[in-house]
Amino acid sequence: MSKEFKINKREVAYNGFFRLEKYQLQHTLYQGGWSEEITRELFMRGNCVAVLLYDPNRDEVVLIEQFRAGAILNPDRAWLLEIVAGAIEEGETAEEVAYRESVEEAGCEIEELTLINEFYTTPGGASERISLFLGKVDATNVGGVHGLDYEHEDILVTTAKFDEVFQMVEDGRIESGIPIIAIQWLYINRDKLRQKWGVN
Q: What is the pLDDT of residues 25-72, one digit of tens each?
A: 999 999 999 999 999 999 998 899 999 999 999 999 999 999 998 898
Q: What is the pLDDT of residues 129-151, one digit of tens each?
A: 999 999 999 999 999 888 777 76
What b-and-e string marks burial along 161-183, b requiring 16 or more CB atoms within 10 Å of the CB?
Answer: ebeebbebbeeeebbbebbebbb
Active site residue 11: no
Q: What is the pLDDT of residues 110-127, one digit of tens each?
A: 999 999 999 999 999 999
Q: What is the pLDDT of residues 69-128, one digit of tens each?
A: 889 898 888 999 999 999 999 899 999 999 999 999 999 999 999 999 999 999 999 999
Catalytic pick among 109, 151, 153, 164: 151
Per-residue model confidence (pLDDT) at position 153: 76
Cβ atoms of 91 and 44 within 8 Å: the answer is no
Q: Which domains does the chain have, with CATH numbers?
A: 5-44 (no CATH), 47-196 (3.90.79.10)
State the helix-helix crossing angle for 177-196 and 162-171, rounded to 10 degrees.
Answer: 150
pTM (predicted TM-score): 0.91
* Cα–Cα distance for residue pair 117/131, rounded to 1 Å: 6
Q: What is the pLDDT of residues 10-22, one digit of tens each?
A: 999 999 988 999 9
| CA distances (Å), origin 92, targets 49, 163, 197 | 11, 34, 29
Per-residue model confidence (pLDDT) at position 164: 98
Cβ atoms of 86 and 49 within 8 Å: the answer is yes
**Sign of the CA dihedral running 119, 122, 123, 128:** negative
How far is CA 74 from its chain centroid? 21
How far is CA 86 from its chain centroid? 8
Per-residue model confidence (pLDDT) at position 92: 95
Q: Which residues contact 70 (CB under 8 A, 6 or more apart)?
A: none
Q: Mark out the alpha helices in the chain (DSSP H runs).
A: 94-106, 162-171, 177-196
Q: What is the pLDDT of residues 164-199, one digit of tens each?
A: 999 999 999 999 999 999 999 999 999 999 999 998
Per-residue model confidence (pLDDT) at position 30: 94
User: In a 10 Å sphere around its CB, with 0-12 CB exposed, 13-18 middle and 19+ buried, how is residue 136 labelled?
Assistant: middle
